[in-house]
Structure formats: structure tokens, C-alpha cells
Amino acid sequence: MRDVARHAGVSVATVSRVLNGTGVVSADTRKRVEASVDTLNFVPSPSARAINSGRTFMVGALVPTLDHAIFARYLHALEEELALCGLSLVVATTGGNPELEAKRAQDLMNLGIEGLVVSGITRDPAFEQNVRRRALPVIATSYFSPEHDLPTIGYDNAEIALMALDHLVDLGHRNIAVMHGPVRSNDRTQARIVALQARLPSGAHILECPLHYEAAADLAKHVVQNERSVTALLCASDVLALGALFGLQSIDVSVPDDISLIGMEDLPASRTTSPAITSVRLPLDDMGRHTANAMRAWIEQGTRPEALKLPSQLILRSSTSPV
């Protein structure tokens, strides 16, 4: 800025007013400063601005993976709303590993983030210690727990699991195979499975599966080939439901004529398969927008948000039918 000021024959304060659009500057002076900026290829330093203002205007987000559309949709809504608030989003992935999450959180804090968004409520002690030390605003998403230490914005994972189960039971299904992803360090899946275990009919059982299309396809084929009494597959994720559908179709098992199939999340691909997959729609876009606005209020006004439960919805399609 001092170089620009010398080149334009004005003060540093005048350059600052031109660049920031604040204060009164004559049209001639503004033109001289802008010409000097162009001539010198001057770009304001974000680091210097952060030092002077004490702000980076950055919010961090930690997610298990970017492989699945559920996180991409949510992050898109979060980033879009944060941008409207004048904030930028920095994303890191954790692989669902609490220790790696703590390390990624430290990396983001070293960049100067002003707030952090995480998935679920289970944290490594090192994470909690760093957050307390820095008094950093942290919001937990994809989970609703009004009693938790962190404010939560999300949905009731037990409720969405029971919504899917009740639909199958209402159709007369009792011999139900539940397919879910790994529960270690995934409190969202844990909450769904605990709720299902308490309500499953006597003919139902639960199977864990890697959260990949191929693994779900193989498990679904194993179920129908070795457990002839099963009439429905309840998948705790649309990723598993899609994989299961592909696997069943590969061995000429008809959905829903031979076996019904339901998922959770309502990913875009679930609407376009044949048959389209019945699923429980999660409020991903709303969660991103509410989280962004809650974070802005916490950072700029010091207003810690209250826990917020967002509604989910059963979307009926053609992959389920009466037993």
C-alpha cells in the first residue's frame, strides 16, 4: 500500500479508503490510485488484513469423506449461505477417525478459522481440549441432542431409522435384513441401529457392511441366496441401498416383487434408478443454511445457538411393496 501511495502521490490512508470503498475520495484521486494499483499489480495481503483486523472471515468444516453425495450436498448449502454472510469455508476430511479429526481441527485452527462445523457429537479428548483453549465456536451437525455440550443442528437419527422400519412393518414385512455401515466412531449410525434393535420384529436381523457400493451389492446377494425368508432390506444409508439394488439386479432378483428395499438420506441417484428407491429424506440443504447463519451470529454477535431439530420425510417410491 505504501508503494501504491508513493506511485499515486497520495497517503496510505487514501489508498485504504479507495480499496475498501470507505470514506470520501475525489473521482480524480480514485482514478490515480486505481491506475497505480494496476500498474504495480498490487494485490492486498489477506494475512496483513487478518493481522490488522483480527479476523480471517474463515469457517472450517470437518466431514468424514467427500466420496458420498450426502456430504457434498450439505457442504454446498453451507458454503453458499456462508458466502452470503461474508464468510469463506475451508473443508478437511477425517476418514471417520477421531484422532485424525483432532489433527485436522488443529490444522484449521492454525489457519485462523473463526468457527468450526463438525459431523456428529463424538470427539477425541485432544479436540475438546483445543477447542476449550481457544474458545472456538463449534457446531455439531447431522445430529440432534439438546443436552450435548456442543450446540447441535440436525436430525434425530433414531427417528429416521424407525420411520423406515415402520414403513416396512406397515407393508407386512417381518423378516427384515438391516444393512448398515461401520458403527465405530460413527454416532449417527450407532443411534440408528440402537433404535432399530429396540423395535425390530423377531424375524429381523442386523448386518454390518463397509460403506461402499460393491460391498453392499455382495452382501445383498448373500442375503437373498442364503436367507430365503427375508422379504425386505432396510439400508441405513442410500449408498448401501443403491449398492444392494445393483447387486440384486445382477442376479435377476426383482425389486420389489421378490424383495422390498428402503434406504435413508434420499440421495439424488435414488430417484433415478429403476425402480426408484424409497428413502427417508434428510434436511441437508436446510441443515447447511441454518448452520451457516447460526455460526455467523455466534462469531459476529457472540450468540451461541440453541440445538435445532430439522424434520425428515419418508419419500415413497416403487422399491417397496406389501410382502
Say if residue 81 is in the same domain as residue 40: no
pLDDT (tens digit per residue) in 72-90: 999 999 999 999 999 999 9
d(Cα 116, Cα 125) in Å, to the nearest integer? 16
Say if residue 161 is in the same domain as residue 301: no
pLDDT (tens digit per residue) in 133-147: 999 999 999 999 999
Kindly state the cell numbers that stand for 190: 450407532
For residue 63, pLDDT over 90 is answered with yes
Please give the pLDDT value at position 53.
63
Please give the pLDDT value at position 52.
67
Please give the pLDDT value at position 50.
62
The overall average pLDDT reported for the chain is 94
Partnered with residue 280 across adjacent β-strands are: 264, 314
pLDDT band at 99 (very low <50, low <70, confident <90, very high): very high
pLDDT band at 304 (very low <50, low <70, confident <90, very high): very high
Please give the pLDDT value at position 111.
92
pLDDT (tens digit per residue) in 4-60: 999 999 999 999 889 877 778 999 999 999 999 999 999 877 666 666 666 889 999
Please give the pLDDT value at position 184.
86
Residue the block writes with cell 447431522: 142
Say if residue 40 is in the same domain as residue 140: no
Is 323 part of a structural domain of the chain? no
Please give the pLDDT value at position 69.
86
Residue type, 190: Q
Say if residue 67 is in the same domain as residue 212: no
CATH at residue 137? 3.40.50.2300
Please give the pLDDT value at position 316.
98
Mean pLDDT to the nearest integer, 280-293? 97
Mean pLDDT to the nearest integer, 202-213? 94
Is 51 part of a structural domain of the chain? no
Total domains present in the chain: 3
Mean pLDDT to the nearest integer, 223-240? 95
Please give the pLDDT value at position 194.
96
Is 318 part of a structural domain of the chain? no
CATH at residue 21? 1.10.260.40
* C-alpha torsion sign, points 178, 181, 184, 185: negative
Is 267 part of a structural domain of the chain? yes
Please give the pLDDT value at position 46.
65
Please give the pLDDT value at position 47.
65
Domain that holds residue 60: 56-155+284-312
Among 15-29, 121-135, 237-251, the range of highest mean pLDDT: 237-251
Please give the pLDDT value at position 19.
86
Mean pLDDT to the nearest integer, 202-208? 94
**Cβ–Cβ under 8 Å, residues 289 and 81:** yes
pLDDT (tens digit per residue) in 189-198: 999 999 999 9
Say if residue 183 is in the same domain as residue 235: yes
Say if residue 9 is in the same domain as residue 106: no
The DSSP H or E segment spanning 206 is strand 205-208
Question: Does 322 sit behind a cis peptide bond, omega within 30 degrees of 0 on the bond before it?
Answer: no
Of the CA atoms within 13 Å of residue 126, those in its CB half-sphere come to 11
Is 320 part of a structural domain of the chain? no
What are the φ/ψ torsions at residue 300 (nearest 5 degrees)? -90, -25
Q: What is the full DSSP assignment across 230-286?
A: --EEEESSHHHHHHHHHHHHHTT--TTTT-EEEEEE--GGGGTSSSPPEEEE--HHH
Mean pLDDT to the nearest integer, 169-175? 97
Please give the pLDDT value at position 208.
96
Please give the pLDDT value at position 7.
94
